[in-house]
C-alpha cells in the first residue's frame, strides 16, 4: 500500500471533508499542538508566541491568543477542559480561561526558559521543567509552588506524570531519564541507555510502558515495572523531537528532523507505517477519538494523517 499523507480536504464522506485545503496557522515553526479534552478544538502554539484555536468541525479559527513573547513550548488542559496551561521560552508559566481566552494568572517558571508541562491525572496540579535543571509542581489555579528540585545536570526538556499520578518522569540534555516519586519529589531511579539528549517522554495508557526518544535517533521502550529497557526502535535517521500515543492503545507515533512520521507497535517493537512529511516536525498529537494525527511543521502549517491507514 502506498504510504499516504493527506491534508484535510482529501477525506470524503466524513468530518474532515468540510475543512479547508491547508491550515496555514502561523508564520514560523509550530512547537506544540494539542486537542481540547472533548476533541472539539485543536490548538497550535508557535515560535512567535501565538496560540491559534481551531474548531475541528469546520476548520475555522475561533480564537487567537497572544500568549507569550517567545516560543510556545507546550500547551495543556485541566481535566475539565476549562483552563489552558502554557509554558514558553520566555520563562513564564500561564493559566488561561479557555472559553474567553483571558489570562487568569502567570508566574516566572524557569530561568532560561520553560520547556514542557504535564497535568496530574488525580490532583489540581501540574509539573513544569526547564533550562534551570529543575522540575516544579504548581497548584491549579493559584500557581503556588508545591515542590521543586534540581534533577538533571543540564537542560530538562520533557516531563510526564504516570497514569495513576504516583510517579513523575523527567528527561533532558544529560541523556538521563529520572523516575521520581510524586510525594516529596524523591528520586526513585535513573534509567540510562540513550547516547545523547532525550527530547520526549510519554507513558502508554495503562502505565506499563514508558517511551523516550531524542537526538540519538532511537525510540526506547522501557518496562516500568522492571525498570529495564524492552526495545530500541531504529528507523529515524535524524533527531527525534516528538512522540504521542494513540489514545487507549499501544500504538505510538514519532517524528523529528528526518521528515518522516513512524508508527510503532510498542509491545512488539514492530514498525507499522512510515509517512513522509517532506518537512521537519516538532509537534504531533492524536485526536481524543483517535481518528486523526496532527503534526505541525517548521513553516507554520498544520497537517493531518487519517489513522485508518494503520488502525483496524
Q: Is residue 281 part of a domain?
A: no
- 80: domain CATH number? 2.130.10.10
| Residue corresponding to grid cell 540519538 | 216
**Residue 58: per-residue pLDDT:** 85
HSE at residue 226, side-chain half, CA atoms within 13 A, is 6
E strands in 121-267: 125-130, 134-139, 145-150, 156-161, 167-172, 177-181, 187-191, 198-203, 209-214, 218-223, 228-234, 240-245, 251-256, 260-265
* Closest to 269 measured CA to CA, from 246, 293, 290, 252: 252
**CA distances from residue 202 to 107, 190, 222 in whole angstroms, order as listed:** 26, 16, 11
pLDDT at 9 (0 to 100): 32
Indicate whether 98 belongs to any domain. yes
Cβ atoms of 158 and 198 within 8 Å: the answer is yes
Q: How many domains does the chain have?
A: 1
Tell me, yes or no, whether 157 lies in a domain: yes
Note whether 134 and 110 are within 8 A (CB): yes
Determine how β-strand 92-97 pairs with β-strand 83-88: antiparallel
Is the preceding peptide bond at 141 cis, omega within 30 degrees of 0?
A: yes
d(CA 122, CA 107): 23
pTM over 0.75? The answer is yes
Q: Is 151 inside a domain boundary?
A: yes
pLDDT computed for residue 18 by the predictor: 34
* Domain-located, residue 260: no
What is the distance between the terminal CA atoms of the chain, rounded to a whole angstrom?
A: 15
**Residue environment code for 268-283, b if the CB has 16+ CB neighbours within 10 A, otherwise e:** eeeeebebebeebbbb
CA angle 258–297–32, rounded 5-degree value: 110
Range of the domain at 116: 67-192
In a domain, 308, yes or no: no
- Does residue 82 form part of some domain? yes
Per-residue cell: 275: 509517512
Asked if the structure places residue 278 within a domain, the reply is no
Mean pLDDT by 10 residues, the chain (312 residues): 32 34 69 96 95 91 96 96 98 97 98 97 96 98 96 97 97 98 93 98 97 98 95 98 97 97 97 94 96 92 89 80
User: Of 182, 237, 192, 226, which Cα lies nearest the Cα of 212?
Assistant: 192
Amino acid at each position: 500500500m502506498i504510504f499516504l499523507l493527506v491534508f484535510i480536504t482529501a477525506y470524503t464522506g466524513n468530518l474532515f471533508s468540510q475543512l479547508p485545503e491547508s491550515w496555514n496557522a502561523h508564520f514560523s515553526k509550530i512547537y506544540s499542538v494539542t486537542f481540547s479534552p472533548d476533541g472539539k478544538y485543536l490548538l497550535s502554539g508557535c515560535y512567535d508566541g501565538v496560540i491559534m484555536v481551531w474548531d475541528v468541525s469546520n476548520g475555522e479559527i475561533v480564537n487567537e491568543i497572544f500568549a507569550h513573547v517567545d516560543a510556545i513550548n507546550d500547551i495543556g488542559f485541566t481535566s475539565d477542559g476549562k483552563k489552558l496551561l502554557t509554558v514558553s521560552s520566555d520563562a513564564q508559566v500561564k493559566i488561561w480561561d479557555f472559553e474567553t481566552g483571558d489570562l487568569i494568572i502567570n508566574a516566572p517558571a524557569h530561568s532560561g526558559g520553560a520547556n514542557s508541562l504535564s497535568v496530574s491525572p488525580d490532583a489540581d496540579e501540574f509539573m513544569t521543567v526547564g533550562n534551570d535543571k529543575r522540575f516544579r509542581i504548581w497548584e491549579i489555579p493559584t500557581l503556588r509552588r508545591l515542590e521543586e528540585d534540581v534533577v538533571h545536570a543540564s537542560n530538562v526538556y520533557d516531563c510526564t506524570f504516570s497514569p495513576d499520578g504516583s510517579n513523575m518522569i523527567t528527561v533532558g540534555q544529560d541523556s538521563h531519564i529520572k523516575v521520581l516519586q510524586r510525594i516529596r519529589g524523591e528520586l526513585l531511579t535513573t534509567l540510562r541507555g540513550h547516547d545523547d539528549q532525550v527530547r520526549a517522554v510519554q507513558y502508554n495508557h495503562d502505565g506499563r510502558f514508558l517511551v523516550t526518544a531524542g537526538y540519538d535517533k532511537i525510540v526506547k521502550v522501557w518496562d516500568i515495572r522492571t525498570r529495564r529497557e524492552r526495545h530500541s526502535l531504529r528507523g529515524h535517521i535524524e533527531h527525534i523531537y516528538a512522540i504521542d500515543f494513540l489514545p487507549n492503545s499501544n500504538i505510538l507515533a514519532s517524528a523529528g528532523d528526518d521528515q518522516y512520521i513512524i508508527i510503532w507497535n510498542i509491545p512488539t517493537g514492530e514498525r507499522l507505517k512510515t509517512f513522509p512529511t517532506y518537512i521537519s516536525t516538532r509537534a504531533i498529537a492524536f485526536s481524543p477519538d483517535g481518528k486523526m494525527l496532527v503534526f505541525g511543521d517548521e513553516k507554520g502549517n498544520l497537517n493531518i494523517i487519517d489513522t485508518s491507514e494503520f488502525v483496524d
